[in-house]
Amino acid sequence: MRAGFLLNEVVTGLRRNVTMTIAMILTTAVSLTMLGGGLLALRIADKTQNYFMDRVEIRLYLTDLVSANDRDCSLNPCQQLMSDLKKTDGVVSVQFVNSDEAMKEATEVTFKDQPEMLDLIKDTRLPASLRVKMTDADQYPRIYESFNGKDGIQSVLNDKDTVDRLVGVFDGLRNAAFGLAALQALAALLLIANMVQIAAFSRREEVGIMRMVGATRWYTQLPFLLEAVVAALAGSILAVLGLFLAQPLVVNRGLGALFNSNVFPRLTGEDIALVSLTIAPLGIVFAAITAYGTLRYYVRD
The SS3 assignment for 180 reads: helix
Is 24 in contact with 192 (CB distance < 8 Å)?
yes
Spans of the chain below 50 pLDDT: 1
Is 139 in contact with 57 (CB distance < 8 Å)?
no
Q: What does the pLDDT look like over 236-257, one tens digit per residue?
A: 899 899 888 888 887 777 766 6
pLDDT score, position 183: 76
Q: What is the DSSP letter of 215?
A: -
Is 13 in contact with 224 (CB distance < 8 Å)?
yes
Q: How far apart are CA 153 and CA 148, in angstroms?
A: 7
Q: What is the DSSP letter of 264?
A: S
Q: What does the pLDDT look like over 58-84, one tens digit per residue?
A: 888 888 888 888 888 888 899 999 898
CA atoms within 13 A on the CB side of 203: 21
Q: In what order do the strands lie in the sheet with 129-134?
A: 91-97, 129-134, 58-62, 153-158
Q: How far apart are CA 133 and CA 271, in angstroms?
A: 30
Does the pTM surpass 0.85? The reply is no
Angle made by CA atoms 124, 125, 129, in degrees to the nearest 5: 135
Q: How far apart are CA 241 and CA 40, in angstroms?
A: 14
pLDDT score, position 1: 43
pLDDT score, position 146: 83
Q: How far apart are CA 45 and CA 178, in angstroms?
A: 15
Q: How far apart are CA 93 and CA 133, in angstroms?
A: 5
Q: How far apart are CA 245 and CA 198, in angstroms?
A: 35
Is 82 in contact with 73 (CB distance < 8 Å)?
yes
pLDDT score, position 237: 92
